[in-house]
Chain A
Amino acid sequence: MDTIKTTCPYCGVGCGISAQADAATRQVKISGDMSHPANFGRLCAKGLALGETLELQGRLLSPLCHGQQSTWEAALNLVADTFNQTIAEYGADSVAIYGSGQLLTEDYYVANKLMKGFIGSGNMDTNSRLCMSSSVAGHKRAFGSDTVPGCYEDFELAGLVILIGSNAAWCHPVIFQRLRAAKLANSDLKIVVIDPRRTASCDIADLHLAIASSSDALLFNGLLQYLHDHDAVNSRYIQDHTEGYTQALPDIGHDYLSQAAQLCGLPPQQLETFYQWFAETDNTMSLYSQGINQSTSGTDKVNAIINCHLATGRIGRPGMGPFSLTGQPNAMGGREVGGLSHQLAAHMDFSNPEDVGRVARFWQTENIAQKQGYPAVELFDAMAEGKIKAVWIMGTNPVVSLPNADKVKQALQNCPFVVVSDCIAETDTTALAHVLLPAQGWSEKDGTVTNSERRISRQRPLLPPSGEAKPDWWIICQVARRMGFAQAFAYENPGQIFQEHAALSGFENDGQRDFDISGLAGLSPDGYAQLTPTQWPVNARHPQGTARLFANGQFFTASAKAQFVPVTPQTPANLPDGAFPLVLNTGRTRDQWHTMTRTAIAPVLNRHKPEPYVEIHPDDAARHHLQANGLATLTSHWGRMVARVRIDAGQKPGNIFVPMHWSGQYASQGRMGALVNPCVDPVSKQPESKHTPADICPYQPAWQGFVLTRQPLAKIPADYWVKIKHQDYFQYELAGNNLAETWQTLARSDFSGASGSVQWLHYEDAAAGHFRAAAIVCGQLRYVVSLAPDQGLPPRHWLGHVFAQTKITAAERKALLSGIAPPDTDDAGEVVCVCFNVGANTIKAAIRGQGLKTPQEVGRCLQAGTGCGSCLPEIRAMLPLSS
């Protein structure tokens, strides 16, 4: 089998993958690409499990119009005609495209070109708005361009790495692996984590600043003042290469350190230690992510960080600089093509009239949009108001991911024409579509993506398309042609689109714009096919690409000087009050991606955090009468959700955290988007997803339970349910308000067809409200149901193993309904190390039995933690207290 090099479709690290595919069986063997500079062979659990996500089950395999299977011809015509009619009747601004950082650059380019260049509206925005638009805005204000100055190698060359609002251990695991390795190799390397939560990333931190939610700007303003007061600034650099330093110095008096400490909720000594480290370490990297960006003052926070780097001249040189870790595999590519509604194309914006003319000339269009369109939140607001009459959503799930998501759902329900292109048939968003267009998925698509360090890599097809699925670029071009723009969308392959995209980046550029890949504009089809990972700019001056920018102190502002931005720290838009006393924070878990449409297909990825949960400090849990592992209702002014309570002292008092992933496909009440306030940064329009006032109280159902079943349930008569796919079975966690008697009949009725061969086991303690049953068919476990009035349910993991068995021993049969393995049965426990499938019981036994003392010893003994390494914090927690 040939080895094909491609790129991981998940986070913004953009890891290279070496894949071997068998088209006949759709089996794909995944390993890290040793030669890819993003990961040098490393992969995280999600990347390693890609092969498990490629099944045809659940894929959207043919176009659907109004729920009916359709031909491509009819579906494309319907989309083109309806868009044209809508534009004719209501104007170009009555239609919109809402794209995704999952789109390839070529897909993105033609979508943007269609909307902004030919339909003539700015209404092309993307889910990247939710992710790093504050970084884009901050970069633009400071550098005059949306430029990430450094590269991943800088993390390894740094003496101080600051992770700000970033749980890289879970969200950018390979970056974290590189940091961990760098820390092991260089004991002088200091790592500081700035995050209200004590996250898994603190595992390698020398200092964790558990700052008050959203107090980052205070902290970095204080740092700027500290640097100034301690003569730690680079006056020469400030003089030669920047503007606005004095104005940016916060007017905060001499007592600012204790003030900042107080406002940030930190001990002053801790803050001073951090300031001191920053002051004395030239090679300092500031990595930041959604904790900074997702804020109504996110752009200011970005600039508060950049200010400190400008003041010390630490930018553009090896081992130093501000560094935005992007969320999605092609968030950067989307920015390159102008996928955000205020952008035009190729790092040109509506704000510059010359840019508008330039792009129109290049595209040879007379219909170019003249002004920016709606950014994401406003787009759906406008839809709710009836201003958007037709929308095309590509590769994203806004009903789950946008703030105030119930309103988004309503807006889509009321929108006269909703088109969704996706590779997955059933999502919360596809459920609302009038037209569904089957897009090719990862492993089928062909194009490029750009990662957080500006590195363009190829995604290459490994398998033939599923069903009638088509590339997104093809779908868009087909609609564009049918709308009357045949000439401008005559591409025959993604290479041609890339060529044009590259040419546009160099068009009338002359060094005016950072994004310039004109060096790739002449790429032959073969050159495109063979393209190796390259960092932009790639042009005549830098034909091999560019690792770092700004080393020469030249920026893309009018004066060529970087700009300090005075930052006045702001409180979040909505503050906790009596009714909503807690701050709701949201974010990723380690093993899921976005709305789980793909990662939840891989059983191995559903083990780490199988259920929507809320993390809460023990004091808050007590105050709100919550019990560990109980259920809780979370409410905000905007909506509600139900989640499993995880009491965690690492959570800051007053703050709660919920994962962002669960959709209506996998949980009945797990959509955190319903709660999140739809307040946006005034500059970047990025929503404040990290800070919503919320309340929490126990969710007290009449019963709780679970079902494990080889076949998915046809209907789930429970108010609360979570569906979890495992290797051999589906797990449903359940709770309900009505009496559970229905389950007893359901358990039997599910098998009415095969009653003769079904062997039932029953357990019942009616007084205690416990009911359990198991069905064995042909000697194999087929179904287990367990109900209780509370959480007093048997453990699930051993039962899960029994589903894999072809025979059940008498002792196992007897123990089935207890959920506890009979003595002398191997029960590895909950999986901790996903990469090597090592369970908690196995690890604990080895620690006890062999006296293991460090995670390294555990790794040598069991391999646990030696793969992606993201379970190391959990392994460390199992070790005796000494470590």
Chain B
Amino acid sequence: MNGSCTEKMRLVVIGNGMAGLRTVEELLACAPDRYEITVFGAEPYGNYNRILLSAVLCGEKQLADIFINTRQWYADNGITLHAGADKAVARIDRARRQVLAEDGTVADYDRLLIATGSDAIKMAIPGHDYVGVNTFRTIADVNAMLAYATPGKQALVLGGGLLGLEAANGLSQCGMTVTVIHNHADLLNKQLDSSASKLLQAELERRGVQFKMQARLQGLVGDGGQHVRAAQFDDGTALACDLFVMAIGVQPNITVAKAAGLACARGIIVNDAMQTSDAWVYAVGECVEHRGNTFGLVAPLYGQAKVCAQHLAGHSTAQFVNPPMATKLKVSGIKLFSVGDFQGNDQAEHIFFTDPVQGIYKKLVVKANQLVGAVLYGDTADSAWYQELVEQQVNVTPIRDRIIFGKA
């Protein structure tokens, strides 16, 4: 293409997010000259750290702080970046090995990497399209929310998961009166056990966040300007709001992949080498489905990026192994952590440590003499060690009675 004596292969990346770009970075590190790289991104910037959006929302960080790679970096590394809504990829022509953007931009590929990430789920309830109803996924979402964030105004956050609580905390820090609406009795019910969840709720309440638990949302009420004004519930109650944030989870963005005929279930199906059903096409990140799992946290994505990059580099037998899930909530001053099978089942054995006055709760789950899960609240100093023990499937019998007190 560029007339050099050795023809470089062409790699096209769909998605300018954390997983795709981490793969590119890994690839540059291990095979810098192998590919001519082109990246398509639907957001009009270089890539940024989506995880830190919460920090931006609550004012701990500025937008400028969270960018990972500037446009200059792409140039410096010889990467062609097509960024912006008009550069969103419209379709893949696998027969021609071409990617086509909305604006007609075409890129040929020898290898294709799909990293389209996921989209925030918007609940299809009456009023969901009113103005002031937001998701929490992108810089644009954050900017929209910050526009409402003045003291005295009221926000409702739907979803007591990680993202919802981070949104609620951020908006509360901005001075808004915030109520979290959650359909379960426990916050973070996928990440914490009930005890830890109660401690967390108490702490957030102490900080001013209110909760409506086990709530069944019926619909949103708008004003004449089609702006959201309140939420209505099955129990007949209603809560007023100026802003309504939906943070009920994400779904893999598989539209383009599916249209191209790649095997998809909830996500794009990949094997342990992060290959899709088309051997020339790879996929990483929140858009994939690996051995039945989809992904929402960053650590496994980086693992996928590493494996994928090595295969793209052409010299690897690396296999992606999905590590046990580890959770941390990015709310400053709240220490919580969970990993693995922290609920346990009938065969599981539980080790507890509590120091209620200090707000400390720890639960370790042991199965067949191995640590299989942990929940920590209030003191997460040993989380990395527990994660290691879970991942490495260590026989903990010799240290069982000391393990909850931390690595000696």
Give me the interface of A with B, judged by CB distance under 8 Å: 759-768, 770, 776, 788, 792, 794, 810, 813-815, 817-818, 820, 823
Q: A767-B366, A813-B358, A814-B379 are in contact. Are A794 and B401 (CB under 8 A)?
A: yes
- In the assembled complex, 26 residue pairs joining A and B whose CB atoms fall closer than 8 Å, in A order, are A759-B357, A760-B357, A761-B353, A761-B354, A761-B355, A762-B353, A763-B351, A763-B352, A763-B353, A764-B350, A764-B351, A765-B351, A765-B352, A765-B401, A766-B349, A767-B349, A767-B350, A767-B366, A768-B400, A768-B401, A776-B357, A813-B355, A813-B358, A814-B355, A814-B379, A818-B405
Q: How far apart are the CA atoms of A792 and B349 in the complex, in Å?
A: 17
Bound-complex Cα distance A776 to B358 (A):
12
Partner of A818, one of B352, B360, B402: B402
* Chain A residues, CB < 8 A from B353: 761-763, 817
CA distance A766 to B405 in the complex (A): 16
A415 nearest CB across to chain B (Å): 50
Chain B residues, CB < 8 A from A818:
401-402, 405
CA distance A149 to B401 in the complex (A): 61
Known: A762-B353, A767-B350. A820 touches B401 (CB 8 A): no
Instruction: Judge whether B404 is part of the interface by a CB distance below 8 angstroms.
Output: yes
CA distance A792 to B402 in the complex (A): 11
List B contacts of A792 (CB < 8 A): 401
Name the residue on A nearest B358 (C-beta): A813
In the bound complex, what is the Cα–Cα distance between A346 and B217 (angstroms)?
103
Nearest CB in chain B: distance from A740 CB, A: 15
Q: Would A762 and B349 be within 8 Å (CB), given that A767-B366, A792-B401 are in contact?
A: no
> Does the CB pair B400–A765 fall under 8 Å?
yes
CB of A765 within 8 A of CB of B349, answer yes
Residue of B nearest to A768 (CB): B400
Q: Which of B266-301 contact A (CB under 8 A)?
A: none
User: Closest Cβ of chain A: how far from B369's Cβ, in Å?
Assistant: 11
A814/B349 in contact, CB under 8 A: no
CA distance A669 to B360 in the complex (A): 40
Given A760-B356, A763-B351, 16 extra CB contacts under 8 A: A759-B355, A761-B354, A764-B350, A765-B349, A765-B350, A765-B351, A765-B400, A766-B349, A767-B349, A768-B349, A768-B400, A768-B401, A770-B401, A788-B401, A794-B401, A820-B405
| Closest A-B pairs by Cβ, 6 of them | A767-B349, A818-B405, A759-B357, A765-B351, A764-B352, A762-B354
Q: How far is the CA of A794 from the CA of B355 in the complex (A)?
A: 18
B64 touches A (CB below 8 Å): no
Cβ B405 vs Cβ A815 within 8 A: yes
- Which among A759, A767, A788, A820 has the highest number of chain B CB atoms within 10 Å? A767
Instruction: Tell me whether B408 is interfacial, beta carbon within 8 Å.
Output: yes
Assess whether B126 is interfacial by the CB under 8 Å rule. Answer: no
Is B349 in contact with A763, judged by CB distance below 8 angstroms? no
Q: List B residues at the A interface (Cβ < 8 Å).
A: 349-358, 360, 366, 379, 400-402, 404-406, 408
Q: Tell me which residues across on chain A come within 8 A of B400, comparing CB atoms.
A: 765, 768
Give CA–CA (A765, B406) in the complex, Å: 15
Q: List chain A residues, Cβ under 8 A from B366.
A: 767
| Beta-carbon contact of B408 and A820 below 8 Å | yes
B288 to chain A, nearest CB (A): 37
Question: How far apart are the CA atoms of A768 and B400 in the complex, in Å?
Answer: 9
Q: Which residue of chain A has the shortest Cβ distance to B400 in the bound complex?
A: A768
Partner of A763 from the list B357, B404, B406 (CB cut-off 8 Å) is B404
Q: Quick one: closest A residue to B357, CB to CB? A: A759
CA distance A122 to B353 in the complex (A): 67
Enumerate chain A residues within 8 angstroms of B379, measured Cβ to Cβ.
Answer: 814
Q: Nearest Cβ distance between residue A330 and chain B, in whole angstroms? A: 50
List A contacts of B404 (CB < 8 A).
763
Return the contact of A814 from the options B350, B406, B408 (Cβ within 8 A).
Answer: B406
What separation, in Å, do the CA atoms of A191 and B333 have in the docked complex? Answer: 70
Complex Cα spacing A823 to B381, Å = 15
Q: Knowing A761-B354, A761-B355, A767-B349, say if A814 contacts B401 (CB, 8 Å).
A: no
CA distance A814 to B405 in the complex (A): 7
Give min CB distance, B366 to chain A, whole Å.
Answer: 7
The chain A residue sitting closest to B363, CB to CB, is A764
Cα A384 to Cα B408 with chains together (Å): 60
Chain A: CB-nearest residue to B406: A814
B406 and A820 form a contact (CB under 8 A): no
Question: In the complex, A760 Cα to B360 Cα: how many Å?
Answer: 11
Interface centre among A767, A814, A817, A820 (most CB of B within 10 A): A814
Inter-chain CA distance A763–B351, complex, in Å, is 7
- Nearest A residue (CB) for B360: A814
Instruction: Pick from A759, A761, A766, A770 the residue with the most CB of B within 10 Å.
Output: A761
A762 to B358, CA, bound (A): 12
Contacts of A814 in B (CB 8 A): 355, 360, 379, 405-406
How many angstroms between the C-alpha atoms of A869 and B366 in the bound complex?
Answer: 49
User: In the assembled complex, how far is the CB of residue A221 from the closest CB belonging to chain B, in whole angstroms?
Assistant: 56
Nearest neighbor of A767 in chain B, beta-carbon distance: B349
| Chain B positions within 8 Å of A767 at CB level | 349-350, 366
A820 cross-chain contacts in B, Cβ below 8 A: 402, 405, 408
Question: Closest residue to B382 on the A side, CB-wise?
Answer: A814
The answer on a CB contact under 8 Å between A817 and B405 is yes
A815 CA / B401 CA spacing, docked (Å) = 12
- CA separation between A512 and B23, bound complex, in Å? 112
CB neighbours (8 Å) of A762 from chain B are 352-355
Of B354, B355, B360, B402, which is in contact with the most chain A CB atoms at under 10 Å from its CB?
B355
B108 to chain A, nearest CB (A): 59
Nearest CB of chain A from residue B96's CB, rounded to whole Å: 61
Residue of A nearest to B366 (CB): A767
How far is the CB of A704 from the nearest CB of chain B, in Å? 13
With a cutoff of 8 Å between Cβ atoms, the chain A residues found around residue B360 in the complex are 814
B364 nearest CB neighbor, chain A only: A765
CB distance from A769 to the nearest CB of B (A): 11
The interface residues of chain B lying within 8 Å CB-to-CB of A760 are 356-357
Q: Which residues of B contact A810 (CB under 8 A)?
A: 358
Contacts of A768 in B (CB 8 A): 349, 351, 400-401
Residues of A within 8 A of B408 (CB): 820, 823
Give Cα A817–Cα B405 distance, bound, in whole angstroms. Answer: 8
| Inter-chain contacts of B352 with A (CB < 8 A) | 762-765
Q: Which residue on A lies nearest to B379, using beta carbons?
A: A814
CA distance in complex: A764, B358 (Å): 17
Q: A794-B401, A814-B379, A818-B405 are in contact. Are A766 and B350 (CB under 8 A)?
A: yes
Minimum C-beta distance from A770 to chain B (A): 6
Measured between alpha carbons, how far is A763 from B400 in the docked complex, in Å? 12
Name which residue of chain A comes closest to B351, CB basis.
A765
By beta carbon, the residue of chain A nearest B408 is A820
State the CA gap A460–B97 with chains docked (Å): 110
Kindly list chain B residues whose C-beta atoms are within 8 Å of the C-beta of A794. 401
Q: In the complex, what residue of chain A is closest to B361 when comparing beta carbons?
A: A762
> Which residues on B sit within 8 Å (CB–CB) of A788?
401
Nearest-neighbor residue (CB-CB) of A823 within chain B? B408
Q: Which residues of A contact B349 (CB under 8 A)?
A: 765-768
A765, A792, A818 interface centre (most CB from chain B within 10 Å): A765
B271 → A minimal CB distance (Å): 38
Minimum CB–CB distance for B350 against chain A, Å: 7
Chain B neighbourhood of A823, CB < 8 A? 408
CB-defined contacts of B356 to chain A, threshold 8 Å:
759-760
Q: Complex: how many Å from CA A764 to CA B349?
A: 11
A776: B residues at CB distance < 8 A: 357
Rounded to whole Å, the gap between the CB of B194 and the closest CB of chain A is 16
> Which residues in A have their C-beta under 8 angstroms from that of B351?
763-765, 768
Give the distance in Å from the alpha carbon of A10 to the alpha carbon of B11 in the complex: 93
| CA of A810 to CA of B357, assembled, Å | 12
By a CB distance below 8 angstroms, the chain A residues around B405 are: 814-815, 817-818, 820
Min CB–CB distance A342 → chain B (angstroms): 59
A413 to B: closest C-beta gap in Å: 44
Q: Which residues of A have CB within 8 Å of B358?
A: 810, 813
Which among B351, B356, B379 has the greatest number of chain A C-beta atoms within 10 A? Answer: B351
Chain B minimum-CB-distance residue to A773: B354
Which of chain B's residues have a CB closer than 8 A to the CB of A763? 351-353, 404
CA distance A759 to B405 in the complex (A): 18
